[in-house]
């Protein structure tokens, strides 16, 4: 049907009536009742008129957890932001300084810069250390995020400054830090080797599986410890990263949490220029039977998305490719407005109260501690 027809007259009124009815059901019966009704509608359409809805393994390009479902943030956001800034700065300074001292020493900066919130929220609110009472969480850190983990350990007083001075020169007499996590290189610090991409995710699956094996045979008591694995979106292209994901769902490993940092970027370019890596991964994991929680937009987007009564914005956000998004993020607010919202006058109207500067500063979900916290909470409680 032509776009003009869809947005015209009768159809607009009809759609609005259906949406209003659904809102009524939602208000009276809650989301579960509404969900059942939608399923019934779809079944009815299929049985009585052969309406076959196109198959989709993905959900719309928005956060899985709505604002209403979001739990309150338990910490001090100001304090945590300050800690995060210090950690992020020290990680960067350590890498830059090492490269000044020894040319070509390398080290990644952007990996941790993009994942700092993901780690800080986990460190501050979720990771559980070993206690006498019970078992602990197990964490597979993304190998290239190592500078951030060192920087945090320094702030906690677990690593001396001389170690940071010798980043990537661990054989110096006063000691140093290995490029990447490896228990052989730093036995008191790292537990698992993760930097050959794909090793973290696959080890985490078998680790969680083995823990379950011990628990099921009474060889270990369970106190709810989780296995966390942090990885990059480019890393998901490694065969090992996805190779055993059906084992995890078959064995119902709800003691396992994957955190995939979808910064849309890998070392040498976009992960998917013409595609959408978040949607692609959602389809793969949902198809394999995983509970997938997407965190796409930060709190700055909440009102815009809540006011998106007809789903125009969410539809627009879903049709933009990752390559285009990369361009928007480095361009000005004016460019963002013109290219993203400019496709429809109704979209432009939705953001007319925001200045170009405000538009450029709309935060993404992975950098919003409240959104990340809500996602972790939901994953842990699943
Ligand atoms: C098996 C393997 N191949 C290649 C590399 C080299 N390498 C290091 S980081 C990187 C890109 C990582 O991209 P992504 O997983 O998206 O992580 P990001 O830095 O974006 O968080 C590559 C190819 C590697 N470490 N392991
Ligand atoms: Mg990446």
Residue 207 Cα to ligand 1 middle (Å) = 22
The number of the ligand 1 atom at minimal distance from the alpha carbon of 231 is: 15
Where residue 199 falls (left for φ over 0; alpha for ψ -120 to 50; beta otherwise) is alpha
**pLDDT of res. 268:** 84
Backbone dihedral angles phi then psi of residue 265, each to the nearest 5 degrees: -130, 140
List the structure tokens of 291.
């509970």
Q: What is the pTM of this model?
A: 0.91
In the 8-state DSSP scheme, what is residue 233?
T
Report the nearest-CA residue for atom 17 of ligand 1: 232
**pLDDT of res. 351:** 97
Is the pLDDT confidence value at 4 over 80?
A: no
Q: Is the CB of 197 under 6 A from ligand 1?
A: yes
Dist. CA 278–CA 295, nearest whole Å:
9
Average pLDDT over residues 307-331: 94
269-270 and 265-266 strand pairing: antiparallel
Is the pLDDT confidence value at 1 over 50?
A: no
Residue 96 exposure: Cα atoms within 13 Å on the Cβ side: 8
Average pLDDT over residues 122-128: 97
- pLDDT category at 123 given cuts 50, 70, 90 is very high
Q: What percent of the chain has pLDDT over 90?
A: 88
- pLDDT category at 78 given cuts 50, 70, 90 is very high
Is the pLDDT confidence value at 3 over 60?
A: no
Is the pLDDT confidence value at 331 over 60?
A: yes
Residue 235 Cα to ligand 1 middle (Å) = 6
**pLDDT of res. 311:** 93
**pLDDT of res. 135:** 83
How does the average pLDDT of the chain come out, rounded? Answer: 94
Residue 270 Cα to ligand 2 middle (Å) = 8
Does 241 or 222 have the greater pLDDT score? Answer: 241
- Structural domain boundaries in the chain: 1-54, 77-296+369-381, 299-362
Q: What percent of the chain has pLDDT over 70?
A: 98
- pLDDT tens digits for 157-216? 999 999 999 999 988 998 999 999 999 999 999 999 999 999 999 999 999 999 999 999
- pLDDT tens digits for 341-379? 999 999 999 999 999 999 999 999 999 999 999 999 999
Report the nearest-CA residue for atom 16 of ligand 1: 234
- Other CB atoms within 10 Å distance of the CB of residue 273: 12
Yes or no: is domain 77-296+369-381 CATH 1.20.120.1200? no
List the structure tokens of 315.
């539809």
Q: Is the CB of 176 under 6 A from ligand 1?
A: no
Beta bridge partners of 207: none
Is the pLDDT confidence value at 2 over 90?
A: no
Q: Is the CB of 234 under 6 A from ligand 1?
A: yes
Average pLDDT over residues 44-67: 92
List the structure tokens of 82.
């300050």
């Amino acid at each position: 049907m032509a776009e003009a027809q869809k947005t015209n007259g009768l159809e607009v009124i009809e759609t609005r009536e259906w949406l209003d009815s659904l809102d009524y059901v939602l208000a009276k019966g809650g989301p579960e009742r509404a969900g059942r009704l939608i399923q019934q509608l779809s079944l009815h359409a299929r049985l009585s008129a052969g309406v076959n809805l196109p198959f989709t393994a993905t959900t719309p390009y928005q956060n899985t957890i709505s604002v209403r479902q979001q739990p309150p943030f338990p910490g001090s956001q100001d304090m945590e932001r300050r800690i995060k800034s210090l950690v992020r700065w020290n990680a960067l300074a350590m890498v830059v300084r090492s490269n000044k001292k020894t040319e070509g020493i390398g080290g990644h900066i952007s990996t941790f810069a993009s994942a700092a919130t993901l780690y800080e929220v986990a460190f501050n609110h979720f990771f559980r250390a070993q206690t006498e009472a019970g078992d602990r969480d197990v964490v597979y850190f993304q190998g290239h995020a190592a500078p951030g983990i060192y920087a945090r350990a320094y702030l906690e007083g677990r690593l001396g400054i001389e170690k940071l001075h010798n980043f990537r020169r661990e054989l110096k007499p006063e000691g140093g830090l290995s490029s990447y996590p490896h228990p052989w290189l730093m036995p008191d610090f790292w537990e698992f080797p993760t930097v050959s991409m794909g090793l973290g995710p696959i080890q985490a699956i078998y680790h969680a599986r083995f823990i379950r094996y011990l628990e099921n045979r009474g060889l270990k008591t369970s106190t709810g410890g989780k296995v966390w694995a942090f990885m990059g979106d480019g890393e998901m292209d490694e065969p090992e990263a996805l190779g055993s994901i059906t084992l995890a769902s078959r064995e119902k490993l709800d003691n396992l949490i994957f955190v995939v940092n979808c910064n849309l970027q890998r070392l040498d370019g976009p992960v998917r220029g013409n595609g959408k890596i978040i949607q692609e991964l959602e389809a793969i994991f949902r198809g394999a039977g995983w509970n997938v929680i997407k965190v796409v937009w930060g709190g700055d987007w909440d009102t815009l998305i809540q006011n998106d009564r007809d789903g125009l914005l969410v539809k627009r956000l879903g049709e933009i490719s990752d390559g285009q998004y990369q361009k928007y993020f480095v361009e000005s607010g004016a460019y963002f407005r013109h290219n993203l919202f400019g496709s429809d006058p109704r979209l432009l109207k939705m953001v007319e109260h925001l200045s170009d500067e405000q538009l450029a500063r709309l935060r993404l979900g992975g950098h919003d501690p409240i959104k990340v916290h809500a996602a972790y909470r939901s994953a842990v409680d699943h």
